Amino acid sequence: MSTRRHTARHVPCSHPQIRRAEESRPVTATEVPVYDAGFLPEADGHAVWFEQSGRPDGVPVVYLHGGPGMGLESHVRSQFDPAFFRLMQFDQRGCGRSRPFGALQANTTWHLVDDIERLRRHLGIADWWVYGQSWGCALALAYAQRHPAAVRGLLLQGVYLGTAAETAWIVDGWRQTYPEAWAVMAAALALEEPARLHARVAERLQHPDPAVQRAAVMALTRFELTCCYLRPDPARVEALLDYDFCRANTLINLHYHAARFWLEPEQLLRDLPRITQLPLTVINGRHDVVTPMGVAWRLLQRWPGAELVVVDGAGHATDEPANVQAVTATMDRLRDRLQGG
């Protein structure tokens, strides 16, 4: 029986499917070690890196990172009680330690879905909880809709569904919320038509001058990171701007957007009846500009029994204190429920 205490409380509100996450008490981050790591057997020319932490015989949870193009996040390990959960993370194709780094070939939503299932089988897990963050939410839903028997339940943070409306929001919403950051980026890209943002970056990445390519990647990434935070800290943003990582992330992200994520229009919402029998908890920052609350609300309306945890003092970034507290409390509450406490 775990003895770890909740780090935040969830406060019910007037809507039966919504809770509000308190953020008044700080979370003391404790480094949770990885007890197992390695590559899945190579498939389609890709070697996918995975890590396991927590309790080897614990309740299994697979964490799907955002992007497309980001990578696993070591700090999230402390948000899953290591005395109870067995947490698995992996770098999606082309990301992090997976090889080849930045590769686009055989890199689609459905290849990633296959990788999740390969990881489950490789580790001998009958079924597991699936946790998606941002782009990882779309990936979690796609996986669950294809392999419902392998999923115990879903936890989604910062809901993204891969729709055309969400792609348009990058211009319509992010630009309106952070106009000064947009202006800096647009000037660096010589971007005259906002709707051509992705096309303009793709053009710059084909430029023969490496300096032009670098400037485009860094300008876009700086803007995206700024939008992730409720209170952007320029120093924090600059510290995250590693060029090799940012370039790979940009290439993969553009690759997925250009293919509309290999999803039919509204596909993930259309196919929800396949999985709405599963438990679902959604966590979303009230002031999340990247994945706004309205997207989570659409999902909630189509999923009877689902729960939405509203984090009033947070944007999108997983390392914002209010988001850390909300995720930790949600996972502790799930632990207590599974223990019968």
User: Looking at residue 8, what is its pLDDT?
Assistant: 43
Task: Say which of 115, 134, 255, 287 is annotated catalytic.
Answer: 134
Q: In whole angstroms, how far apart are CA 81 and each of 85, 226, 327? A: 6, 30, 11
Say whether pLDDT at 301 is over 60.
yes
Mean pLDDT throughout 103-116? 98
- Catalytic, 288? Answer yes
Supply the pTM of this predicted model. 0.92
Count CA atoms closer than 13 A to 157's CA, side-chain side. Answer: 28
User: Looking at residue 10, what is its pLDDT?
Assistant: 47
Task: Say which of 53, 78, 316, 332 is annotated catalytic.
Answer: 316
Region class of 256: left (phi > 0), else alpha (psi between -120 and 50), else beta: alpha
User: Looking at residue 340, what is its pLDDT?
Assistant: 83
Say whether pLDDT at 166 is over 90.
yes
In contact, 237 and 224? CB cutoff 8 Å: no
- Tell me which amino acid residue 65 is: H
pLDDT band at 28 (very low <50, low <70, confident <90, very high): low
Task: Say which of 91, 115, 288, 332 is annotated catalytic.
Answer: 288
User: Looking at residue 20, what is its pLDDT?
Assistant: 62
Tokens for 315, please give them.
């944007």
pLDDT band at 6 (very low <50, low <70, confident <90, very high): very low
- Catalytic, 319? Answer no
User: Looking at residue 13, what is its pLDDT?
Assistant: 55
pLDDT in tens, 307-330: 999 999 899 999 999 999 999 999
Say whether pLDDT at 152 is over 60.
yes
User: Looking at residue 7, what is its pLDDT?
Assistant: 43
pLDDT band at 1 (very low <50, low <70, confident <90, very high): very low
Count CA atoms closer than 13 A to 174's CA, side-chain side. Answer: 27
Class of domain 10-162+263-339: alpha beta
- Name the average pLDDT for the chain: 92
Say whether pLDDT at 172 is over 80.
yes
- Nearest residue to 254 via CA among 37, 63, 107: 107
- Tell me which amino acid residue 46 is: H
- Catalytic, 209? Answer no
**Top-confidence residue, 266 or 11:** 266
Say whether pLDDT at 3 is over 60.
no
| pLDDT > 90 in the chain, percent | 90
Q: What is the DSSP secondary-structure string of 84-136?
A: TEEEEEEPPTTSTTSBSTT--TT-SHHHHHHHHHHHHHHTT-S-EEEEEETHH
pLDDT in tens, 38-83: 999 999 999 999 999 999 999 999 999 999 999 999 999 999 999 9
Give the residue extent of every domain in the chain: 10-162+263-339, 165-260
